Amino acid sequence: MNSKSIPKQFLELHGKPILAYTIEKFNAHNEIDKIILVTLSAWIEHCSDLIEKYRLDKVESIISGGATAQESTMLGLKEADKIYGQDDVIVLIHDGVRPLIDYDTISKDIESVKLHRSAITVTPAIETITVKGSGGKIGKIIERSKCEMARAPQCFYLKDILSANIRAINEDSRAFIDSASLMQYYGYDLYTVEGPVENIKITTPSDFYIFRAIVDARENSQIFGI
């Protein structure tokens, strides 16, 4: 994404930043009590203005992130623990550039944590997946029906995910690509919740165009009663 002057979560569609679209989904959910926003330190004031403008009243804290996604997640978890340090607190970890998450998936994620102590939002793999081989050759081809793509939210009891993150830091463990890989590494069972295919992470220009097309299609369907 050619967005050197502005982080991609602040790029706008129809005058509204991607981040606002994302937070609105959680702000409107009746099972979400509070939201902690982890962002770049230079953009905290901008986020504060955004929260006020769009009346995102469940945002409790806006804090500075770390050098990596894993570190930023840890800082958010510590903030949650400082405010809500209780055994039964459920935390949903989500990307600010995943604005197409829906109400039902959030509900199913929360229910899965209550039942199984975890919820990893996934979508079915829709193309053939291969393991990269050497010398330009394809390695193993994995049967598509056995594959899923892990997305977000990734959800746990706060005490579980926080303790695993602290353990990783204390043991100087390898960097983890997401919370799911960290929790599996430390022996937690991970349960999946199938989410909408359109729950994409907006990383490239084509992702943004897909996001725009879906938003416009939904607005048109409301206008024309489709």
Give me the pLDDT at residue 179, please: 94
Can you tell me the distance from the alpha carbon of 115 to that of 109, in angstroms, rounded to the nearest whole number? Answer: 10
Do residues 99 and 18 lie in contact, with contact meaning Cβ atoms separated by under 8 Å? yes
Instruction: Count CA atoms within 13 Å of residue 102 on its CB side.
Output: 12
Burial class of 225 by CB neighbour count within 10 A (0 to 12, 13 to 18, 19+): exposed
- Using the 8-state DSSP alphabet, how is residue 10 labeled? G
Where does 8-121+150-206 sit in CATH, by number? 3.90.550.10
Can you tell me the distance from the alpha carbon of 205 to that of 200, in angstroms, rounded to the nearest whole number? Answer: 12
Are β-strands 192-194 and 118-124 bridged in parallel, bridged antiparallel, or unpaired?
parallel
Can you tell me the distance from the alpha carbon of 30 to that of 215, in angstroms, rounded to the nearest whole number? Answer: 23
Query: If you count them, how many residues does the chain have?
Result: 226
Give me the pLDDT at residue 173, please: 72
pLDDT (tens digit, 0 to 9) for every residue of the chain, 226 residues total? 555 678 889 888 889 999 999 999 999 999 999 999 999 999 999 999 999 999 999 999 999 988 888 889 999 999 999 998 777 999 999 999 999 999 999 999 999 999 999 999 999 888 888 888 888 888 888 888 888 899 999 999 999 999 999 999 888 877 788 999 999 999 999 999 999 999 999 999 999 999 999 998 887 776 555 5
SS3 of residue 146 by DSSP: helix
Give me the pLDDT at residue 108, please: 98
| The two structure tokens encoding residue 202 | 């907006």
32: left (phi over 0), alpha (psi -120 to 50) or beta: beta
Give me the pLDDT at residue 225, please: 56
Can you tell me the distance from the alpha carbon of 112 to that of 127, in angstroms, rounded to the nearest whole number? Answer: 27
Give me the pLDDT at residue 90, please: 97
Question: Which has the closest alpha carbon to 97: 13, 5, 184?
Answer: 13
